[in-house]
């Protein structure tokens, strides 16, 4: 099975996280944390800074590693390193995504997450990095 190594940015601003809807491919319209493939010779952090600049015209600070997800899609195996990030400079201009939103605990489940991204999201909820919709109403 083909293996794809990617890095994903969990861009956080206050109690909100940034998510984007894929604008192409079989999973077009599904939501994910932005990022992309790690090129030969790049660290995941370098790849993430490059991808966010290419896809969103924004400079980010890559902070802590939230976790790695290993997930088998029907067509490939995904290995995804997810990092908490913040914006240094830029406006998050969509160049490839179909749509994007800042989501809160109340709105996290309002979009259809890609399975690997949902795993990271659930870990973040479980570790209280973000509150899920049930907690947000309390």
Per-residue pLDDT of the chain (138 residues; tens, 9 = 90+): 999 999 999 999 988 999 999 988 889 999 999 999 999 999 999 999 999 999 999 999 999 999 999 999 999 999 999 999 999 999 999 898 899 999 988 899 999 999 999 999 999 888 777 654 444 433
d(C-alpha 78, C-alpha 27), whole Å: 14
Which run of H or E residues covers position 43? Answer: none
Nearest to 105 by CA among 134, 127, 82: 134
What b-and-e string marks burial along 85-98, b requiring 16 or more CB atoms within 10 Å of the CB?
A: bebeeeebebeebe
Residues pairing with 32 in the sheet: 20
- Taking a C-beta distance cutoff of 8 angstroms, is the pair 80, 43 a contact? no
């Amino acid at each position: 099975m083909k293996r794809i190594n990617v890095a994903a940015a969990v861009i956080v601003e206050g109690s909100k996280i940034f998510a984007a809807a894929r604008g192409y491919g079989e999973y077009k319209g599904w939501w994910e944390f932005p990022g992309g493939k790690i090129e030969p010779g790049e660290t995941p952090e370098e790849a993430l800074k490059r991808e966010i600049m290419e896809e969103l015209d924004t400079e980010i600070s890559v902070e802590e590693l939230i976790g790695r997800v290993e997930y088998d899609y029907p067509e490939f195996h995904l290995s995804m390193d997810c990092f908490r990030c913040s914006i240094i400079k830029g406006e998050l201009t969509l160049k490839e995504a179909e749509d994007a939103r800042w989501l809160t605990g109340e709105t996290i489940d309002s979009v259809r997450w890609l399975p690997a991204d949902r795993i990271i999201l659930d870990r973040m909820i479980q570790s209280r990095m973000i509150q899920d919709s049930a907690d947000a109403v309390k």
